[in-house]
Amino acid sequence: MNKNKHIVVGIIGLGSRGFSITQMIAKMKDVEIKYVCDTYEDRTEAAQASVFRLAGYKPQIVTDYKYILADEEVQAVLILTSWETHIKIAIDAMVSGKYAGMEVGGAYDINDCFLLVEAYEKTGIPCMMLENCCYGKYELMIKNMVDKGILGEIVHCSGGYMHDLREEIAYGKENRHYRLRNYISRNCDNYPTHELGPIAKLLKINNGNLMLSIYSISSKSKGLSHYLNEKKKDDLELCNTVFKQGDIITSVIKCQNGETITLTLDTTLPRFYSRGFSVSGTKGRYQEDGNLIFLDDKHCKFHFLSRIFYNNASLYLRRYMHPIWKRFKKEGVKGGHGGMDYLVLRAFLESVRDRTDTPIDVYDSASWMAITALSEKSILIDAPVPIPDFTKGKWKSKKTSEGRYSLD
């Protein structure tokens, strides 16, 4: 063991996202990446070489994550694999006594979410979805404003993952990317936690509030086939593939405390990227599209003039930037996606170091991931479906976390 490193981790899954997270962690002086794991040899070698280049040591290469779990020195694993395997590996990690940090994804079966919670409750080992958007600069500023009461009582939020991924999906065979097979075989909100994560934290879901039910509908599926027939004409197999995944999935969620949430998945059509975040309260509103803050006291006379206020939300950063971000700016913003990748990793890794709960816990992770399986079911049966209370009533009296990265 490297004596200067406090935190020893294994990294499982080294696709494009896994590789970039490996690089980010390699630069952290207090973390040792003891293992890099993938079933593809070229990926493990590239990751090992990259860590050596950045940090001067070589992680061990393994192709089976169970070797990592068998090493008592490893305190945590980062699960950056394809969506299908997140929960299984996380459960195995907890059972082996290792903190589980899972990349963003959704569940395939609601029972897997129960198993995830069960593993935590049996072992007491934390499991955290690494939902970076919970640490987005604007998401946290709005959360800060909500916590201070600036927007009044919150009654509705919206958000989604609206990101043109046609190229990534269309070249899924070439890039060994799991999205392709998912878009062929399923129809659901396959990526709900942008922006459900930040919304759930803001609405205190599982911590005084609950999600109760979801209803989802799917548009027809036209984006990918149109794209393929324009840009990848020679891939006849794919051009003739029927994609089950609708282009736009819209889900509406009801909460225990009377709020509603609208979620959108929009990943196979041309568009500007947006997480479509909006928060509506009795005193004001934020919306990402237009980057607008409306405060009743201040803007009520101008309510027909949204266009001249576009981007006014940036002016509020000075006053309402979240303490996590203030500190981050002082210490030097680093890492991908504007810094939020770094923050979510530190939130996880410092919990590992301090042996504390993680700011996004297993109940958050399970209930957010459940949305994928439940949206699939709702689309199939064309009816709203209940969202289980994974906390079994503990949401009424959850202990609020207080760490440096707390989102409570």
Interacting residue ranges for a second copy, rule: CB under 8 A = 152-153, 155-156, 164, 213, 215, 217-220, 222-223, 226-227, 246-248, 250, 252, 254, 257-260, 262, 264, 266, 269-274, 280-285, 287, 289-292, 294-296, 299-300, 302-307, 309-311, 382-384
Nearer to a second copy, 223 or 359 (CB): 223
In the complex, minimum distance from the CB of residue 402 to a second copy, in angstroms, rounded to a whole number: 29
- 128, 141, 83: which is closest to 108 by C-alpha? 83
Q: Could you tell me where the beta strands, DSSP code E, fall in 153-256?
A: 154-162, 211-218, 248-255
Nearer to a second copy, 266 or 350 (CB): 266
User: What whole-number distance in Å separates Cα of residue 93 and Cα of residue 87?
Assistant: 10
Structure tokens that stand for 265 in this block: 């998945």
Length of the chain: 408
- 380, 381, 348: which is closest to 365 by C-alpha? 348
Nearer to a second copy, 53 or 298 (CB): 298
User: What whole-number distance in Å separates Cα of residue 279 and Cα of residue 157?
Assistant: 4
Nearer to a second copy, 129 or 295 (CB): 295
User: What whole-number distance in Å separates Cα of residue 70 and Cα of residue 267?
Assistant: 38
| Cα dist from 167 to 116, 177, 344, whole Å | 33, 11, 27
Nearer to a second copy, 66 or 303 (CB): 303
- Residue 406 phi, psi (nearest 5): -60, 140
In the complex, minimum distance from the CB of residue 81 to a second copy, in angstroms, rounded to a whole number: 26
User: Do 84 and 47 meet the contact criterion of CB atoms below 8 Å apart?
Assistant: no
In the complex, minimum distance from the CB of residue 149 to a second copy, in angstroms, rounded to a whole number: 12
Residues contacting 196, CB < 8 A, separation 6+: 159, 261, 263, 368, 371
In the complex, minimum distance from the CB of residue 324 to a second copy, in angstroms, rounded to a whole number: 23
Nearer to a second copy, 9 or 265 (CB): 265
Cα dihedral across residues 67, 70, 73, 77: positive or negative? positive
Nearer to a second copy, 2 or 282 (CB): 282
In the complex, minimum distance from the CB of residue 203 to a second copy, in angstroms, rounded to a whole number: 11
In the complex, minimum distance from the CB of residue 215 to a second copy, in angstroms, rounded to a whole number: 5
In the complex, minimum distance from the CB of residue 139 to a second copy, in angstroms, rounded to a whole number: 16
